[in-house]
Amino acid sequence: MKPILFAALLLSACTGLLSPGGDEDADRQEIVRLEAEARALAKTDGCGGADQCRSAPLGAKACGGPRDYVAYCAATTDTIALFRKLEELRTTEETFNRRYGVVSTCDYVSPPGTELNGATCRLRPR
Give the Cα separation of 117 and 106 in Å (integer). 32
Within-domain flag for 68: yes
Residue 33 lies inside a defined structural domain of this protein: no
Residue 109, pLDDT score: 85
SS3 48: coil
Any domain includes 76: yes
Contact 69, 57 (CB under 8 A): yes
Q: How confident is the model at residue 68 (pLDDT cuts 50, 70, 90)?
A: very high
Q: Identify the domain containing residue 94 by its residue range.
A: 43-126
The phi and psi torsions of 125 (rounded to 5 degrees) equal: -60, 145
Longest dimension (CA), the chain: 52
- Whether residue 16 has pLDDT greater than 90: no
28 within a domain of the structure (yes/no): no
pLDDT value of position 13: 42
CB–CB of 100/111 below 8 Å?
no
